[in-house]
Amino acid sequence: MVSLTLVRGDITEEAVDAVVNAANSSLLGGGGVDGAIHRGGGPEILEQCRALRAERYVDGLPTGHAVATTAGRLPARWVVHTVGPVWSRTEDRSADLIACYRESLRVADELGARTVAFPAISTGIYGWPIDDGARIAVGTVSAAVTAVEEVRFVLFDEIAYAAFETSLRDARDR
């Protein structure tokens, strides 16, 4: 069973096999985690993203899908780019958010990764409420069938960290 841990901090500093990027479908960079990963990792990541766009994802990486590149100058070995859903008040898009965690773990398995760091996907620029985002993240990863041994959720601020702590406690009590 995969072991879940929580860290407060910047995901680009994690020395894990794979860090997951909350990317957008262009794969060409953005704000938040995406910006930090490209800034920290350097041009090597963007070059591979450009090649993926040209060869495999001409229309962009669809929401809920995941694809890997190397990690450039980051301490991790790989970056798994996934595209979270934009929060909607009128439409339930949680299946897409679940797919991001599942697909990222599937890609991590393909790479042979044993340690994976996730941000709280969709809870920044994409507006997903943090409590619900944390519940989906913890629930999906704990139920996943994977060879990954440790999943580290790396939370940028105190509110996100507290939301993940609560979700983890709820999952353990169940």
- Which residues does the annotation mark as catalytic? 34
> Which residue from 18, 33, 66, 80 is in contact with ligand ADP, where contact means CB under 6 A?
33
In the complex, least distance from residue 121 CB atom to ligand ADP, rounded to whole angstroms? 5
DSSP string of the chain, one letter each residue:
--EEEEEES-GGG--SSEEEEEE-TT-S--SHHHHHHHHHH-HHHHHHHHHHHHHT-TT-PPTT-EEEEE-TTSSSSEEEEEEPPPP-SSS--HHHHHHHHHHHHHHHHHHT-SEEEE--TTSSTT---HHHHHHHHHHHHHH---S--EEEEEESSHHHHHHHHHHHHHHHH-
User: Which listed residue (156, 161, 163, 168) binds ligand ADP by CB under 6 A?
Assistant: 156
Residue 82 contacts residue 65 (beta carbons within 8 Å): yes
With CB under 6 A, what is the number of residues at the site for ligand ADP?
Answer: 22
41 near ligand ADP (CB under 6 A):
no
Q: Return the residue of 10, 47, 149, 170 that touches ligand ADP, per CB under 6 A.
A: 10
Binding residue for ligand ADP, selected from 78, 101, 126, 153, defined by CB under 6 A: 126
Pick the closer one to ligand ADP by CB: 7 or 171. 7
Q: Choose one: 26-34, 49-57, 66-74, 161-169; the region binding ligand ADP (CB under 6 A).
A: 26-34
Q: Which residues of the shown chain bind ligand ADP in the complex (CB under 6 A)?
A: 10-12, 22, 31-34, 36, 84, 119-126, 154, 156-157, 160
